[in-house]
């Protein structure tokens, strides 16, 4: 693997595909808060490894592209917030900690969190990428999110020890692009809180999907293959049009007695559809 030394920190190596933050040149201290004052590129990923937090949070200073974002902080329990009134494309072509097609990965022992703020004008995913929380951290995306047309965004974890959560409150849009919740831990909750416009399928393979907005899956067919894999975040009984606007279908591939739990504890029963 080819490496080059940072001009301001010869001990910090910029490796192929992964841009390691260096003291004085990482996202926390530069004027633009990106490494060396410039954003990662389509062939470079940004890595956060703070143990104490950043004095200045990373700020987009122009429309930017990065392969992936990796938080590997060993301690601290801090949250990094990406701001700036520009767009961010995450290609998801990176291999982060041996995980291919990782767009965002949180796996540091510090259980650090990552937030993409609502200031960011939009986040776009690459082809069939994934946002993963393999520790106890929280990934929050408050900015609008676009899934590349006809592709799938995978949300969840790849480690059985994962216990974190993913919250997407920005509106999700896509033409035939969908979402898969796939959680090796079985304890990760993915929350969709926006009035979403994506038209691809939503599959809950494992883990839990919380629809925290009556319009969260309004144009998507939801298939649940996990026991208690779907929750509704409302304290009242929604109207039929709020449950599934456009008369979309909820499919449960688990036994007919599967129960879907509301976040308030109310229980409803799901009609069983045989697997297609």
Identify which of 209, 86, 101 has the alpha carbon closest to the alpha carbon of residue 153.
101
Residue 255: exposure state from Cβ atoms within 10 A (0-12, 13-18, ≥19): exposed
Task: With a cut of 80, say whether residue 103 has pLDDT above it.
Answer: yes
Average pLDDT of the residues in 111-140: 95
Position 55 in a domain: no
| Total residue length of the chain | 276
Position 115 in a domain: yes
Q: How far is CA 122 from the centre of its chain?
A: 14
The confidence score (pLDDT) of residue 56 equals 67
Position 146 in a domain: yes
Task: With a cut of 70, say whether residue 262 has pLDDT above it.
Answer: no
Average pLDDT of the residues in 245-253: 47
Distance (Å, whole) CA 176 – CA 110: 37
- What is the Cα Rg of the chain in Å? 19
Report the domain count for the chain: 1
Identify which of 85, 78, 56 has the alpha carbon closest to the alpha carbon of residue 143.
85
Position 83 in a domain: yes
Average pLDDT of the residues in 96-105: 93
Task: With a cut of 60, say whether residue 40 has pLDDT above it.
Answer: yes
Confidence of residue 10 (pLDDT cuts 50, 70, 90): very low
- How large a percentage of the chain has pLDDT more than 70? 67
Task: With a cut of 90, say whether residue 34 has pLDDT above it.
Answer: no
Residue holding tokens 């080059």?
4
The confidence score (pLDDT) of residue 179 equals 98
Helices H / strands E in the chain, number of each: 1, 28
Model confidence, pTM: 0.77
Position 212 in a domain: yes
Distance (Å, whole) CA 172 – CA 87: 14
Position 74 in a domain: yes
Residue holding tokens 């808060």?
33
The confidence score (pLDDT) of residue 207 equals 93
Domain span at residue 161?
63-269
Distance (Å, whole) CA 219 – CA 233: 18
Task: With a cut of 80, say whether residue 235 has pLDDT above it.
Answer: no
Position 177 in a domain: yes
Confidence of residue 250 (pLDDT cuts 50, 70, 90): low
Average pLDDT of the residues in 217-243: 76
Give the CA-trace dihedral at 21, 25, 28, 32, to 10 degrees: -120
The separation between the first and the last C-alpha atoms of the chain, rounded to the nearest angstrom, is: 46
Average pLDDT of the residues in 231-259: 51
The confidence score (pLDDT) of residue 84 equals 85
92 phi-psi bin (left φ>0, alpha ψ -120 to 50, beta other) = left
Average pLDDT of the residues in 169-191: 95
Position 21 in a domain: no
């Amino acid at each position: 693997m080819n490496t080059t030394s940072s001009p301001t920190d010869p001990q910090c190596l910029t490796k192929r595909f992964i841009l390691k933050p260096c003291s004085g040149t990482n996202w926390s201290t530069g004027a633009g808060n990106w490494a060396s004052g410039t954003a990662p590129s389509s062939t470079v990923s940004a890595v956060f490894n703070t143990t104490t937090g950043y004095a200045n949070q990373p700020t987009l200073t122009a429309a930017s592209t990065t392969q992936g974002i990796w938080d590997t902080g060993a301690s601290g329990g801090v949250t990094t917030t990406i701001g700036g009134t520009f767009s961010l494309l995450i290609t998801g072509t990176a291999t982060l900690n041996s995980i291919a097609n990782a767009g965002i990965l949180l796996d540091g022992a510090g259980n650090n969190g990552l937030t993409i703020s609502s200031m960011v004008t939009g986040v776009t995913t690459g082809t069939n990428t994934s946002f993963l929380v393999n520790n106890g951290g929280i990934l929050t995306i408050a900015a609008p999110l676009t899934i590349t047309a006809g592709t799938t965004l995978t949300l969840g974890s790849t480690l059985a020890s994962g216990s974190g959560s993913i919250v997407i409150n920005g509106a999700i849009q896509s033409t035939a692009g969908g979402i898969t919740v796939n959680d090796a831990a079985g304890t990760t909750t993915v929350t969709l809180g926006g009035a979403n416009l994506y038209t691809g399928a939503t599959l809950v393979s494992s883990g839990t999907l919380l629809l925290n907005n009556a319009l969260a899956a309004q144009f998507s067919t939801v298939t649940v293959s996990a026991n208690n894999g779907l929750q509704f975040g409302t304290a009242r009984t929604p109207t039929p049009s709020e449950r599934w606007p456009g008369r979309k279908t909820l499919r449960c591939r688990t036994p007919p007695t599967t129960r879907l739990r509301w976040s308030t504890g109310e229980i409803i029963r799901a009609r069983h559809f045989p697997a297609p």
